[in-house]
Structure 1
């Protein structure tokens, strides 16, 4: 495969192949052996019936999933792409149509049902969908790649919001048809490009129309969690920070908040000096070297929020089987930290740390434009977060989104402003 399976999937696949070979006394080709024949060997391999809660059985399902992915890659050019919501940490995509597949999940379902031959039915269904896509595109459609899938599917970006609880509850207590009317009206007033308006109508309004029209939105979270979260965001959000990658928030931005602005820096060793002279961004070294002045949770969300400080936005979201992308945060512990935090002093502190490292290295820092960009972005985002938490009135929430969502946030904000802003009524 051009984009190979994650290492843990490859390892599991190798374990399954080795175990089947030992059992059969000869090599077993997992890419060609019929699934019923593979299934016939499983009771001896598992020591009984398949148990989805048994970790060893899960490894077996993961390995068979890797083989399924390879088969689909050979037939249809399928590839792996990063997807944090998938149990494998990655999902399978196809170049000719937007089809997202979790091989592990499909194998688990087949093994639980005691019918591994369902994978042949799955393959036939995919073959049919791809055939229709190729025929419909007349062979001239643009091919999709891993980057396209990750941009559209993987929730790799996030932002912080402050939401009005009353407006949020009102939206969740509304029906899809009522919300669709409000959104359609807002689209007519929002200052957005025509193509964005058409896309919004084609995706959001269509999704609302597919829900039960007279049933509250909060009662349909289990069937359409993403559209319910979007409605809560559109009608309830009052202000937000900019969006940035999850890793940037978790590995750099929030640690900067916990470190603060120390006057002195700890001793550094030869390895850290060498990293500095080889061009590692001073901001990254600063986060690695300088201890926190404010204690952060050992575990939890982004290394900043204890599990007890994170909850669903609304009780109705507890019924969702899908991972939640909109979470409410208890900011009482961090509010005084943010209130005393000065983003400009943070920038000055990192600059002082850079000079400190130059003194230890005996030479200047190598040019690193990326460090300046990261430092500026961190300063802006922490400034946004401080204003949001200290001055905002409402629930502070965390919204996870795809790269595509992050890129369209400006247009979404225009629709949100049209929904929440004053309306001119001509008499």
Structure 2
């Protein structure tokens, strides 16, 4: 299989393969090499239409594959002209999005190509490129609409991923009545409530944090149509609607952690339970321990589940039939970051969960592996921190899922930046949910 050419910011493998396959198909169809990076988009459209054998159909998988190849070419043009780069983004259909170093501009090349080809006007990509060129020019020359001050360091894939990739998760419990009343409220009323809460937090928010929340939440609410309930405008501002529901209706929940940590460590601990015996170890597993593998990682990899878990599904813990909407209005949102979870599978396991017993079984497993490997156990700070974090998250989840009566257990996706600001957001949430003190 061909590999992307080495570069500072690699192209996602599946995008590179789609682009390579498209280039090969066009060369065969046209009888000569076809330059996807320089040919006018009108010529690209004619050549691709010939391959399709007719009009582009958005629902046909083979047509989508060709569109992904065109998207790769469009991204390559942006990289050549503006040093644009791919960064991981779970919200994107292709699993990655294009970012630009000189200004915060996100582009889904696949989405842009699908829209253009669906309209039979691939030349629209040049219009889009011109818009990006104009926006970046304003930044470079300090125009009135510049997205960032001159002299600001260029952004990279890590910066974009931190800001936009919802790679962190937390479980929250929503009060369904509050969720309903919040989403059925008018944006101007919600904006007033949030602005009032920002002035009543205890301890007070730092001025920069208060200003940030006002810009991101209050002003965003004020930009919506004042006469329509928030529920009627979720397509226009899905992230805002989810955030407001969380701020007003959340009555319990867990801390935030990377999705991989929940999937690979935290939830497997719950399904494994507290076994009395451990399975035989093979040579590779013993060798991994001898070479420094964390015992906790080996534990969740080696020890079978005591309780059945879905082979597929969300986080290896929930069937797709166990996932729902926190409010009917969210049915109109494509990529949800707030979803309701049926807790029936987890509740019995959480009721049995005891952090001390789980910690003890991990210690016993560590001693078991050490004996088989002939190597003394040495607890590492990283391993200790990882186990403590997992036990804390499970304890939070147990408290939220088993003690809050009548609530909706939901899974909330956040970016790393949002996870970092969750502590400050909690202060606003408490002020928003608390009653006002009126002096007479």
**Normalised by the size of structure 1, how large is the TM-score?**
0.97
CA contact (8 A) 1:283 1:375 kept: yes
Distance in structure 1 (CA, Å) of the matches to 2:149 and 2:237: 32
CA contact (8 A) 1:277 1:365 kept: no
Distance in structure 1 (CA, Å) of the matches to 2:60 and 2:79: 29
Distance in structure 2 (CA, Å) of the matches to 1:33 and 1:399: 44
Q: Deviations over 1:314-337 (max 9, x none)?
A: 1111122x3111111111222111
Show the counterpart of 2:139.
Answer: 133
Show the counterpart of 1:406.
Answer: 419
1:213 aligns with 2:219: no
Cα drift, residue 4 of structure 1 = 1.4
1:283-322 equivalences in 2 (<5 Å) = 283-320=296-333, 322=334
Show the counterpart of 1:350.
Answer: 362
Cα drift, residue 139 of structure 1 = 3.6
1:91 aligns with 2:97: yes
Distance in structure 2 (CA, Å) of the matches to 1:14 and 1:389: 49
CA contact (8 A) 1:252 1:287 kept: yes
Cα drift, residue 365 of structure 1 = 4.4
Cα drift, residue 384 of structure 1 = 0.7
Distance in structure 1 (CA, Å) of the matches to 2:428 and 2:228: 24
Show the counterpart of 1:21.
Answer: 27
The two structures, once aligned, show a CA RMSD in angstroms of 1.3
1:338 aligns with 2:320: no
Show the counterpart of 2:193.
Answer: 182
Structure 1 residue matching 2:340: 3-state secondary structure: strand
1:4-403 equivalences in 2 (<5 Å) = 4-136=10-142, 139-190=150-201, 191-320=204-333, 322-365=334-377, 368-393=380-405, 394-403=407-416
Structure 1 residue matching 2:141: 3-state secondary structure: helix
Structure 2 residue matching 1:15: 3-state secondary structure: helix
Distance in structure 2 (CA, Å) of the matches to 1:220 and 1:293: 45
Cα drift, residue 225 of structure 1 = 1.0
Cα drift, residue 367 of structure 1 = 6.0
Cα drift, residue 173 of structure 1 = 1.6
Q: Deviations over 1:38-66 (max 9, x none)?
A: 22212321222222222222111111111
Distance in structure 1 (CA, Å) of the matches to 2:280 and 2:79: 51
Distance in structure 1 (CA, Å) of the matches to 2:256 and 2:355: 17
- Which range moves more in the overlay, 135-144 or 308-317? 135-144
Cα drift, residue 290 of structure 1 = 0.5
Distance in structure 1 (CA, Å) of the matches to 2:54 and 2:328: 40
Structure 2 residue matching 1:195: 3-state secondary structure: helix
1:418 aligns with 2:440: no
Q: Deviations over 1:1-55 (max 9, x none)?
A: 5211110111111101111111222222211122212222123212222222222
Distance in structure 1 (CA, Å) of the matches to 2:427 and 2:346: 30
Distance in structure 2 (CA, Å) of the matches to 1:367 and 1:24: 63
Cα drift, residue 187 of structure 1 = 0.8
1:243 to 1:138, Cα distance in 2 relative to 1, 3 A: closer
Distance in structure 1 (CA, Å) of the matches to 2:368 and 2:300: 14
Distance in structure 2 (CA, Å) of the matches to 1:269 and 1:35: 56
Structure 2 residue matching 1:189: 3-state secondary structure: coil
Distance in structure 2 (CA, Å) of the matches to 1:207 and 1:94: 24
Distance in structure 2 (CA, Å) of the matches to 1:423 and 1:227: 24
Q: Deviations over 1:367-426 (max 9, x none)?
A: 643222211110110111111111122111111111111000011000000011232211
Structure 2 residue matching 1:207: 3-state secondary structure: helix
- Count of aligned positions: 426
Could you tell me which runs of 5 or more consecutive residues in structure 2 were left unpaired when the two chains were aligned: 1-6, 143-147
Structure 2 residue matching 1:158: 3-state secondary structure: strand
CA contact (8 A) 1:176 1:209 kept: yes
Cα drift, residue 349 of structure 1 = 0.9
Extract structure 1 runs of 4+ deviating beyond 4 A: none
Could you tell me which runs of 5 or more consecutive residues in structure 1 were left unpaired when the two chains were aligned: none
